[in-house]
C-alpha cells in the first residue's frame, strides 16, 4: 500500500470552479460578479442581487421591475409541497424543516 498523506478537513480541496464568485480567505473577501459581497449586501436589494447572479449585471429600475415580475410568476408552490410542509411537527428544528422542504420541493419539481 502506498504511503498517503491525510489532510483533515477540506483545506486545499477544490470543490468546483466558477466564474460567479471568488473567495479569498487570506484577504477575507468574497467577490460576486466583480463586486465585494459585503459592500453589495449593504447597498442593494435581494432582487438586484438575484439579477446580478442570473443576468451578470446590476439592473436599472426598469430591468429590476421586469426581473421581479418574472420571478413572481414562479412563486407558487405545488399543493403537494404545502401538504407535506404543513404536516411537519410545529416544534421541528428550523434547519431540519428547511432541508426537508427543499428535498420535497426538489422531488416534486423533477417528477
Pick the closest to residue 28 from 20, 19, 37 (CA basis).
Answer: 37
Q: How far apart are CA 37 and CA 18, in angstroms?
A: 16
If you count them, how many residues does the chain have? 111
**Is 90 exceeded by the pLDDT of residue 5?**
no
Helix spans in 8-75 (H): 37-43, 46-55, 61-72
Q: Tell me the per-residue pLDDT of 24-79, one tens digit each, with 9 for 90 and over.
A: 888 888 999 989 999 999 999 999 999 999 999 999 999 999 999 999 998 889 99
Q: How far apart are CA 80 and CA 82, in angstroms?
A: 5
**Is 90 exceeded by the pLDDT of residue 83?**
yes
pTM: 0.64
Amino acid at each position: 500500500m502506498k504511503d498517503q498523506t491525510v489532510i483533515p478537513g477540506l483545506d486545499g480541496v477544490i470543490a468546483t470552479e466558477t466564474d460567479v464568485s471568488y473567495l479569498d480567505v487570506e484577504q477575507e473577501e468574497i467577490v460576486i460578479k466583480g463586486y465585494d459581497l459585503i459592500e453589495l449586501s449593504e447597498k442593494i436589494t435581494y432582487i438586484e442581487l438575484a439579477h446580478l447572479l442570473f443576468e451578470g449585471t446590476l439592473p436599472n429600475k426598469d430591468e429590476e421591475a421586469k426581473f421581479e415580475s418574472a420571478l413572481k410568476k414562479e412563486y407558487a408552490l405545488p399543493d403537494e409541497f404545502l401538504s407535506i410542509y404543513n404536516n411537519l411537527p410545529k416544534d421541528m428544528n428550523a434547519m431540519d424543516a428547511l432541508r426537508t422542504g427543499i428535498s420535497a420541493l426538489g422531488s416534486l419539481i423533477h417528477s
